[in-house]
Every structure is written in C-alpha cells, then in structure tokens.
Amino acid sequence: MAGSPGAEGESTGQVAVVTGGANGLGEFIARRLHADGYRVAVADVDAAAAAALAGELDATAATARGYGVDVRDRAALEGLLSGLCADFGEVHVLVNNAARTQAKSLLEITREELDEVMAVNLTGTFQACQLFGAYFAKQGYGRIVNLASLAGQNGGTATGGHYASSKGAILSATKVFARELAPHGVTVNAVSPGPQDSPAVRAIIGEENLADYVRGIPVGRLGDPAFIASTVALLASPAAASVTGACWDANGGLHLR
C-alpha cells in the first residue's frame, strides 16, 4: 500500500490524524508529526481552529488539512475516516487526543457532567479505535496512540473525578484493542502525562499555588508538552512494531510502578 513503511521503517509520507489537534497538547502533536514528515489531519470540534493550524503547517493543503469533528458522534468519525481516504488516499496513524476536562468537587459532579466527559474522553476514543482499527486491520498496518493521564492511574481529582475515571477507562480500552488488533499489524498504545507546563494546567493550579505544587513533584518541574509529542511520535512510528498494549508514563515521578 502506498505510503506504508519502507525498508528502514521511515514514516515519511504516512498520514496521521490527531483528534483535538487544533490547540493544547494536540497542537504540539500535530506539529511534531508534520515536522517528522507525516501528512497530518488536524481534527477538532473547532473546525475553524483546525483549518487555521493546518493552513499554517501547509497553505497548499498537500501535507496538512483541517477537519471539523465531534468525537462523540460516531457518524462524524465515520465521515472523518471517509474524508481522509478521499483527500489523502489512505491513513496510517490515529492519535486519540480529544478530551473534555472539568475541575469540580467529586461529590458535586452531576449526571449530565459525567455523561459529557465520558462521551468525549472514553466513548470518543473507543469509537475511533473501533472504526480506524477495523480500517487499519484490513490494510494490514496501523498505529493508534491514545492519550491517557496520570489522573487515570492514581485517582487524582484536580481535573475532576469524572475526568480521572474516563482516563483510567482509556487505559483498559488500550489493552483490549491492542490484543484484538495485534495479529493484523496494528499496534495500540497509550501515553500518560502528568501535569504539563501549559496554560490549562496553570489555570487549574493557579499561578499563586504553582511554586508549592511544583515542589511536590519529585523531579521538581512541570512536564514539557513537546516531549509528550515526541513520545507520541515514537509510538506512532513504523519502528515501534514490537510495542503494543503499553502505557508510557511521563509524570515527573508522581506515579511509579
């Protein structure tokens, strides 16, 4: 198949889609994959922001395109896959990064808030793994990288107990899809970041609390989103054929296992 791994496992020319790719960590990932030679689809519920980033990466739309998609909607994900195949001819990598975060006291989370966070984080990831996983399996090659979180490993609730629960579920989903798709040349892995040096994390912690918070991290610093993007790129590469069902931690020593 065109664009499949070469003799040396190069990724040049492969097509990667990043959900929630228009800003935040997703933007770092999209930029890194594009810099590594992937043709990148920036998929985001904010279609204008996705198009803006794609246009910045490549104004000709030859190597980057933006797509508006709500990952909660299975039909929208099906349309995304069809659109990618029509525009690029094929797809090789799926990065499930789209997420909903809400900082709220655990016992005050409403049913509606729980459903909303789960719909984006878990259902969106699960459905995308199903649809793209089936496509990859038919093609005989694919890479899926899911964005988990330290909160899903240690029960942290700074970003909301429903968020932590959804990310823990993503870790389990990563394993079941990895087992199912392994015989078909498809790997499925997760990256689990701890607190990153980002506007979102700073807003949740509060600038006035940041110094005390950082002192509680064993390595004494917030994480670097660019490193998370590099980790995703490594797991997305053709060379990562022997890694599947894994969760790669990057939490500054806050969770050891």
What is the number of residues in the chain?
A: 257
Cα torsion angle, 102, 108, 112, 117, sign: positive
Cα angle 6, 250, 239 (rounded to 5 degrees) comes to 10
Residue 250's H or E segment, with its range, is strand 247-250
The SS3 of residue 176 is helix
Active site residue 163: yes
Task: Tell me the three-class secondary structure of 203-253, residue by residue.
Answer: HHHCHHHHHHHHHCCCCCCCECHHHHHHHHHHHHCHHHCCCCCCEEEECCC
- Quick check: 149 and 96 in contact, CB under 8 A? no
Q: Tokens in use for 244? A: 């599947």
Which of 38, 67, 135, 163 is an active site residue?
163
By C-alpha distance, which of 202, 36, 26, 11 is closest to 92? Answer: 11
Check if the beta carbon of residue 5 is closer than 8 Å to that of residue 238: yes
CA angle 164, 165, 166 (to 5 degrees): 90
Structure tokens at 99: 């997420």
Distant-in-sequence, close-in-space partners of 177: CB < 8 Å, separation ≥ 6: 129, 133, 144, 188
The position carrying tokens 């997420």 is 99
Query: Which positions are annotated as active-site residues?
Result: 163
